[in-house]
Amino acid sequence: MYSQHSRTPRAPGTRPQFKRRSPGASSGGFRRPAPSRGRSSGGGNRRGSVDQRIDISRFINKAVITETIEHFVPEHKFIDFPIDARLKKNIVEKGYQDPTPIQDRAIPQVLRGLDIVGIANTGTGKTAAFLIPLIDQMLKDKNTRLLVVAPTRELAVQIEEEYRGFTKGLGMSSVCCVGGASLGPQIGALRRNPQAVIGTPGRLKDLITRKNLDLSRFRAVVLDEADRMLDMGFIVDMRFILERTPKDRTTLFFSATLSPEIERLIGEFLREPVRISVKTQDTSKNVDQDIVRIERGQNKIDVLADLLIQPGFSKVLVFGKTKHGVERLAKDLTQRGFKAESIHGDKTHGRRQRALDLFKRNHASILVATDVAARGLDIAGVSHVINFDLPSTYDDYVHRIGRTGRAGKSGKALTFVG
């Protein structure tokens, strides 16, 4: 545990001194705040739930480095799947060779036309697991349309980018329908009858209500991060959308957890689905987890700034609880000379995408975000995740720190407690 007892003058460029304490010495937890109401396709609002406590010791876990690790051997290779040769070519050009566990097990089942319930951690390759077989289905049946529903704007945009990569040169159009962006261009794209529509529940419902989106031909439907959509209060919208799709569609659910609400949706809208679970341990062995104790009288932003100037903090994702707090923190860090950007639900779609792009391309070294950035986003090379504000649940914590320690690389997660 890091504990900074006081701030004392030091020479520029020198490292602040931290005292390491034994993890076993810490105890206690925190109480979940009162539930909020409302929802936003940008994230930040959650459905109410029972009071919950999380033991602080769960934020401490040393990364495990071993000489030998269990190696997954896929049963298939992408070139062996019975899919269109043009699609295979695009898969190879994207650098795909061996399928991940969820891809290896899900793709053959989807190619058979079966409904799927996929339970997998974030960052396991779920997007390719559903896009590859469904694109092949659309290539073989020109009348099939694909609908993908995602909880956040950023994840929807990321899915559409993957779709475009897989369909390069195939003449298969798409549109991304998310809140925070102008309706006009989305309506214009829908009038051109795209093969794929990817969007957030609120905006999709709005377009359906306006009669700009007719789902009667969408015979392939994917709900990605379904548990997150429930957390954000989208259960009514999800039902509204699914009820307007054909009964003989292929339906795929992907989620990190299976709640009673998810089970009810599965029972209502899926036909004898194949259940595939490749969920591993809660947190990655590649992520070194610790806490930073904020002592009485200390300024959290000062402590954060002292951390960020240390060697190794090259690409840092900082999580805050509220939209206002995240924006204020990003501005404070910028005033202190850091290259910081912010993402939260009050920002327009364009500004959020610009901030994310700057962070991905290393033009900004710090991204301050609400939990809108905790799920699904694939950002390479994040060196540290810092929980400036405590997460509401342990599941939220797991998804937050899952942004680092990816693709076999090591990462670090620090959680501020006080």
User: How does pLDDT run across 239-262, given as a tens digit for each residue?
Assistant: 999 999 999 999 999 987 788 888
Question: In angstroms, rounded to a whole number, what is the distance separating the alpha carbons of residues 191 and 54?
Answer: 49
Express as a percent the part of the chain with pLDDT over 90: 54
Looking at residue 282, its pLDDT comes to 53
CA–CA distances in Å: residue 291 to residues 55, 151, 340, 391: 12, 29, 22, 13
pTM: 0.66
Ranked by mean pLDDT, the top range of 13-22, 136-145, 386-395 is 136-145
Question: In angstroms, rounded to a whole number, what is the distance separating the alpha carbons of residues 74 and 256?
Answer: 21
Phi-psi region at 407: left, alpha or beta (left = phi > 0; alpha = psi -120 to 50): left
Number of helices (H), then strands (E), in the chain: 13, 17
2-7+16-61+283-417 and 78-277: same fold?
yes
Nearest to 222 by CA among 137, 325, 342: 137
Right CATH for 78-277 from 3.40.50.261, 3.40.50.300, 3.30.450.40, 3.30.70.2740 = 3.40.50.300
* pLDDT above 80 (res 377): no
**How far out from the chain centre does Cα 135 lie?**
22
Q: Please, what is the average pLDDT of the chain?
A: 83
Domain 2-7+16-61+283-417, what architecture? Answer: 3-Layer(aba) Sandwich (3.40)
Phi-psi region at 400: left, alpha or beta (left = phi > 0; alpha = psi -120 to 50): alpha
Question: In angstroms, rounded to a whole number, what is the distance separating the alpha carbons of residues 232 and 39?
Answer: 6
CA atoms within 13 A on the CB side of 225: 32
Looking at residue 53, its pLDDT comes to 63
Q: Count other C-beta atoms under 10 Å from residue 336's C-beta.
A: 14
The 3-state DSSP class for residue 135 equals helix
Question: In angstroms, rounded to a whole number, what is the distance separating the alpha carbons of residues 168 and 166?
Answer: 6
Looking at residue 10, its pLDDT comes to 38
pLDDT tens-digit series, residues 403-417 = 888 766 788 999 999
* pLDDT above 50 (res 69): no
pLDDT tens-digit series, residues 10-67 = 343 343 444 333 333 333 333 333 333 334 444 444 443 333 567 777 777 765 433 3
Question: In angstroms, rounded to a whole number, what is the distance separating the alpha carbons of residues 229 and 265?
Answer: 12
Contact 320, 368 (CB under 8 A): yes
pLDDT tens-digit series, residues 342-357 = 998 888 888 888 998 9
Of the two residues 408 and 217, the one the predictor is more confident about is: 217
Looking at residue 120, its pLDDT comes to 79
Looking at residue 407, its pLDDT comes to 64
Looking at residue 48, its pLDDT comes to 39
Q: Where are the domains of the chain?
A: 2-7+16-61+283-417, 78-277
Q: Taking residues 370-389, what's their average pLDDT?
A: 85
Alpha helix positions (H), 193-322: 201-209, 226-231, 235-242, 260-269, 300-308
Range in 109-113, 186-190, 295-299 the model is least confident about: 295-299
DSSP-derived pairing of the beta strands 174-177 and 196-199: parallel
User: Angle 137-229-49 (CA atoms, 0-180°, nearest 5)?
Assistant: 150
Looking at residue 7, its pLDDT comes to 38
Going 240 to 244 to 248 to 249, the CA torsion angle's sign is: negative
Contact 230, 197 (CB under 8 A): no
Token pair 């995602």 is found at: 150
Looking at residue 68, its pLDDT comes to 34
Of the two residues 410 and 266, the one the predictor is more confident about is: 266
CA–CA distances in Å: residue 13 to residues 292, 308, 310, 318, 386: 21, 11, 8, 22, 21
Question: In angstroms, rounded to a whole number, what is the distance separating the alpha carbons of residues 125 and 121?
Answer: 9
The 3-state DSSP class for residue 6 equals coil
Looking at residue 416, its pLDDT comes to 94
Going 72 to 73 to 75 to 76, the CA torsion angle's sign is: positive
* pLDDT above 80 (res 204): yes
Of the two residues 360 and 43, the one the predictor is more confident about is: 360
The DSSP 8-state label assigned to residue 23 in this structure reads G
Looking at residue 414, its pLDDT comes to 94
CA atoms within 13 A on the CB side of 96: 25
**How far out from the chain centre does Cα 70 lie?**
26
Tokens of residue 402, six digits: 């899952």
Nearest to 231 by CA among 93, 43, 72: 43
Going 95 to 100 to 105 to 110, the CA torsion angle's sign is: negative
Looking at residue 239, its pLDDT comes to 93
Looking at residue 39, its pLDDT comes to 42
Instruction: Tell me phi and psi for residue 129, to 5 degrees.
Output: -60, -30
